[in-house]
Amino acid sequence: MSVSVQIPDLIPVMPEIVVTLAAVILLMLELVVKNKNSLGIFAIAVSGLSLYILPQCQGETFGGMFVNDTVSSYFKVIFLINLFLTVLISLRYMQREKAESGEYYGLLVFATAGMMIMASARDFIVLYLGLELMALSTYILAGIKRDDLKSNEAAIKYFLLGGFSSAMLLYGISLLYGLTATTDIFKIGEFLKGTETTPALLFAMALILAAFSFKIAAAPFHMWAPDVYEGAPTSVTAFMSIGPKAAGFAVIANVFFSAFHGLRADWAPLLIIISITTMAVGNILALTQTNIKRMLAYSSIAHAGYMLLGIIAGTEQGLYAMMTYLLIYAFMNMGAFGIIVLMDKGDELKDYEGLAKSRPLVAALMLVFMFSLTGIPPTAGFIGKFNLFLAVVQAGYTWLVVVAVIFSAISAFYYLRVVMNMYMKAMSEEAALSPSPFLSLALGIAVFAVFAIGVLPSLVIG
């Protein structure tokens, strides 16, 4: 009997290999390179290279455990854009905050690798590996300002709650394995098609859903988000508000559309409740915030609520609309955080008073991002919402869309408060900025994308 060792096809994992290798190299380089900026530029180059080879690496490998198809590629594009923009806004900021440890860029790249693996995972074990790689990296990133109490608090909170959610996920996966004797997501779906729903199965599904809800900061698993967003360095907050959320949606889409496809009647009502609670909690609690990072944390909770609608719709259009929304959200949210990073003192809402007088261009950019987050045309935010809600109406959930648009109208109030402070309040002191060409590039890309998608939606849909 001869054992033939087959080398698996590595082409589909090439982007992940590139990113992971780069992360390892970054960690080594950090020991010898004094100029940390060059590490950042290396990370940018890596994201560019990975984006470039991504289209050529379609296919499945490792016995179907790892699949790189159009959907997962789309998510990977979001992750890589997220990495690219985060590094751009970090370069000057980390220097200013004196938190420029070399592992910063390495960790960003590791986290991105984790997300990419999550998007491609077709097996719960692979999924869990990717998720932990991402999560562990972001825990450290949240606490990267070692001397800062708030940053430490954020890291600890994120770590403890994150660990708890990972445990729930593992418990859910093992229950599911016990029921179906496989960890392959597709095979679980096949298996569950014929069987009756048992309490144990529902329990496993609920555990998995809870763990994923934690990652996307959906209520009632959102508690960590405001504290962590506030405490973490702003560039990390920007990174976390997009990357892990998008990765969370990637796995939710994957698991609930494939493994739990047959249980749609059971999970749809559950997700509807979660989605409405999330929109309510996010939008209503954001109204009273005085710290802009906390406000954007609640705003990001609210946006997760909208995006869940795409999953609830349960259709292909819903899925694509949700992915488009994530891409648009990446640009506008990164833009908003970019402005916060640009300001020397910009964590509090009152720091923005009179900004339109002292820094008209910065204020105008922030205005654009705020209106885009609200979803007012002709910005990309409107196209995202329109596309998403249209898919949900099409799936027959008109009433849910009515709820969502009402909440989205409520959200206008807190986004407008920023605009109000910038344009309608007297200046208390001239705002100091720390501009850099990289940051300007990031803001330029963000504002260009917001308007380009807003005026020519064909760029992202269809």
The residues near 358 (Cβ < 8 Å, ≥ 6 apart) are 427, 430, 431
Is residue 426 near another protein by the rule CB under 8 A? no
The residues near 311 (Cβ < 8 Å, ≥ 6 apart) are 249, 252, 253, 256, 257, 271, 318, 319, 322
Point out which span in 74-82, 167-175, 412-420, 431-439 binds another protein (CB under 8 A). 412-420
Is residue 371 near another protein by the rule CB under 8 A? yes
Min dist. Cβ of residue 213 to another protein (A): 26
Is residue 401 near another protein by the rule CB under 8 A? yes
Judged by beta carbon, residue 104 or residue 415, the one nearer another protein is 415
Exactly one of 344, 409, 435, 440 binds another protein (CB under 8 A); which one?
409
Point out which span in 125-133, 183-191, 286-294, 420-428 binds another protein (CB under 8 A). 420-428
Point out which span in 13-21, 208-216, 307-315, 404-412 binds another protein (CB under 8 A). 404-412
Is residue 402 near another protein by the rule CB under 8 A? yes
Strand pairing category for 66-68 and 59-61 = antiparallel
Using alpha carbons only, what angle is made at residue 361 by residues 417 and 233, rounded to the nearest 5 degrees? Answer: 65
Exactly one of 202, 284, 376, 433 binds another protein (CB under 8 A); which one?
376
Min dist. Cβ of residue 398 to another protein (A): 6
Which residue blocks in 195-263 are alpha helix, DSSP H? 199-216, 224-231, 234-254
Exactly one of 416, 427, 433, 452 binds another protein (CB under 8 A); which one?
416
User: Which class for 194: exposed (0-12), middle (13-18), buried (19 or more C-beta within 10 A)?
Assistant: exposed
Exactly one of 178, 406, 432, 448 binds another protein (CB under 8 A); which one?
406
Is residue 267 near another protein by the rule CB under 8 A? no
- Give Cα separations from 39 to 89, 136, 219, 243 (angstroms): 14, 21, 37, 20
Is residue 393 near another protein by the rule CB under 8 A? yes
Distance CA 285, CA 299 (A): 9
Is residue 389 near another protein by the rule CB under 8 A? yes
Min dist. Cβ of residue 460 to another protein (A): 10
Place of tokens 């405001």: 226
String of DSSP letters for 133-161: HHHHHHHHHHT--TT-HHHHHHHHHHHHH
Is residue 287 near another protein by the rule CB under 8 A? no
Q: Would you say 241 and 338 are in contact if contact means Cβ atoms under 8 Å apart?
A: no
Looking at this protein, which amino acid is placed at residue 263? Answer: L
Is residue 382 near another protein by the rule CB under 8 A? yes
DSSP state of 296: H
Exactly one of 161, 420, 433, 441 binds another protein (CB under 8 A); which one?
420
Judged by beta carbon, residue 40 or residue 454, the one nearer another protein is 454
Question: How far is C-alpha 286 from the geometric centre of its chain's CA atoms?
Answer: 19
Distance CA 255, CA 130 (A): 14
Binding mask 342-361 for another protein (x = CB under 8 A): --------------xx--x-
Place of tokens 């290396």: 42
Distance CA 381, CA 385 (A): 6
* Size, binding site for another protein by CB under 8 A: 33
Is residue 412 near another protein by the rule CB under 8 A? yes
Min dist. Cβ of residue 356 to another protein (A): 7
CA end-to-end span of the chain: 52
Q: Would you say 22 and 109 are in contact if contact means Cβ atoms under 8 Å apart?
A: yes
Exactly one of 56, 195, 290, 398 binds another protein (CB under 8 A); which one?
398
Exactly one of 163, 262, 377, 444 binds another protein (CB under 8 A); which one?
377
DSSP state of 256: I
Judged by beta carbon, residue 26 or residue 401, the one nearer another protein is 401
Judged by beta carbon, residue 175 or residue 412, the one nearer another protein is 412
Q: What residue ranges bind another protein (CB under 8 A)?
A: 356-357, 360, 367, 371, 376-378, 382, 386, 389-390, 393-394, 398, 401-402, 405-406, 408-409, 412-413, 416, 419-420, 423-424, 456-458, 461-462
